[in-house]
Structure 1
Amino acid sequence: MLVVENLSVNYGAIKALVNVSCRVDQGEIVALIGANGAGKTTILNTISSIVPAAAGRVLFEGEDITKTAPHEIVKRGVCQVPEGRRVFSKMSVLENLEMGAYIRSDKKGIAQEMERIFHLFPRLAERKKQLAKTLSGGEQQMLAMGRALMSQPRLLLLDEPSMGLAPMLVEKIFEIIGEINGTGTTIMLVEQNAHMALSIAHRAYVLETGQIVLEGPARELAENPEVRKAYLGE
């Protein structure tokens, strides 16, 4: 579904990514793990065209989207939930979700998607008239995910969904990620909590200083002594 080929990205003189290649097959959850500054978010931002590639290319369903505008990438079926949630704080929960459907005009379909999101996230249904800035961190994360799902993505890019959340909420968020994947949405997941990421992913890539140093089935990486020592605290 998604192929990243020899991707290099620079921030001025800093090489953020160096010849990175990875792929996501339809129906998978693929995790990117690594230390802060390893380049995980940069991969997502380059797929979304928020950050330009210096070299290499990104293919989605066989088409080169490397130089495609960000809003066109959403129209093609790739949507990102950014690190830090980035909800529209002065808008209500309902308005945030409606913003997620900005590329759609099928009113009936939008209403059905809204119901599905309220089913996935009952807390949002209870708070739909509340301003987004009054929500807790976990509720804002649910809202950011719901907003992305309103565009009906075939590929969902999740950037640090558990950041700053209480352990109980982290488990809930990951449970919901599993549910979203179970209904047919393919997911690429960047996550600091390597243990949770590897427990839910089918495959994973380990990044260090802008390069992929390990890749394979998530279960195998979870048993890898280097990964356990570096990222699982063992």
Structure 2
Amino acid sequence: MTDVVLSVEDLNVHYGSIHAVKGISFQVKRGEIVTLIGSNGAGKSSTLNAIMNIVPKSKGKVVFNGIDITNLPTNEIVKLGLTLVPEGRKIFPNLTVYENLMMGCYARKDKNKIREDLDWVLNLFPRLKERLKQLGGTLSGGEQQMLALARGLMSRPKVLMMDEPSLGLAPLLVAEVFQVIQQIRNEGVTILLVEQNAFAALKICDYGYVLETGRITLQDKGENLIKNEDVAKAYLGIS
């Protein structure tokens, strides 16, 4: 069995005349945390959305677990075990925490396993356990982010993609989110992370890719990218 669980080849995304993603290729290996870093407009979110077929690809190929998912509908991709936690949380504000979590496993039929997974995510996120009957919209920003992550995990993904999980959170909560991401990986879930907090992302990732204006300009182990002078100046605030 190959170690590569997700392979993206020559991915291109256009929005009208704007060429947002320009022929990028990368791989995610089983059991790893892989991160895509870059400034606003670099094409990070477009890449994740194109993988999930939320936005159309103008060119390219995506293979997940040996299956070509390039043209599969999003719901079929989720059933195969690839899930996206979108930027901005996108929880259902008028549903309870419990109902939000159940929306995460709408495509599953294994009721006993769903119960086990509910226990699992509530142990990962104890604050959600205390708020199961509370409406999602009444949670704090940090709690909503935890709910978005937990809802994603309820689909029992083999690979969980996260788009800006720390966006808009206080520093203490950011640290908590990144601890949880490591814990999720330790539980056997492979992670593809898009994150503007480059330092925090590179600290926990196995491998990283730097995107600039739709192209991968640099790739290396996370620990090496942190030490790279160009990365430090551009993304880590180190001159």
With the shorter chain as reference, the TM-score category is: over 0.9
Instruction: Detail structure 1 runs of 4+ shifted over 3 Å in the superposition.
Output: none
Query: How far off is 1:156 after superposition?
Result: 0.2
| Residue in structure 2 matching 1:109, options 107, 113, 117 | 113
Partner of 1:148: 152
Which whole-Å deviations, capped at 9, do the CAs of 1:27-85 have from their partners, x for residues lacking one? 00000000000000011001111011101111111221010000000000000000000
Q: Distance in 1 between matches of 2:63 and 2:121?
A: 29
2: CA distance between counterparts of 1:70 and 1:158? 16
Listed as ranges, the gaps of 5+ residues in structure 1 are none
- What is the alpha-carbon distance in structure 2 between the residues aligned to residue 7 and residue 173 of structure 1? 29
Q: Does 1:136 align with 2:153?
A: no
Out of 26, 29, 44, the position equivalent to 1:25 is 29
**1:4 aligned partner, one-letter code:** V
Q: What CA distance in whole angstroms lies between the structure 1 residues aligned with 2:44 and 2:205?
A: 16
C-alpha displacement of 1:108: 1.0
Aligned-residue offset at 1:105: 1.4
Are positions 1:90 and 2:128 aligned together?
no
**2:218 maps to amino acid:** L
Q: So what's the TM-score if we normalise by structure 1?
A: 0.99
Matched residues, percent identical? 54
- Report the equivalent of 1:165: 169
Once superposed, what is the RMSD of the aligned Cα atoms?
A: 0.5
Equivalent-residue separation in structure 1 for 2:79 and 2:110 (angstroms): 14
Q: Which residue of 1 aligns with 2:12?
A: 8
Structure 2: 5+ residue stretches without partners? none
SS state at 1:57 partner: strand
Alignment-mate amino acid for residue 42 of structure 1: S
Question: Which stretch shifts more, 57-66 or 189-198?
Answer: 57-66
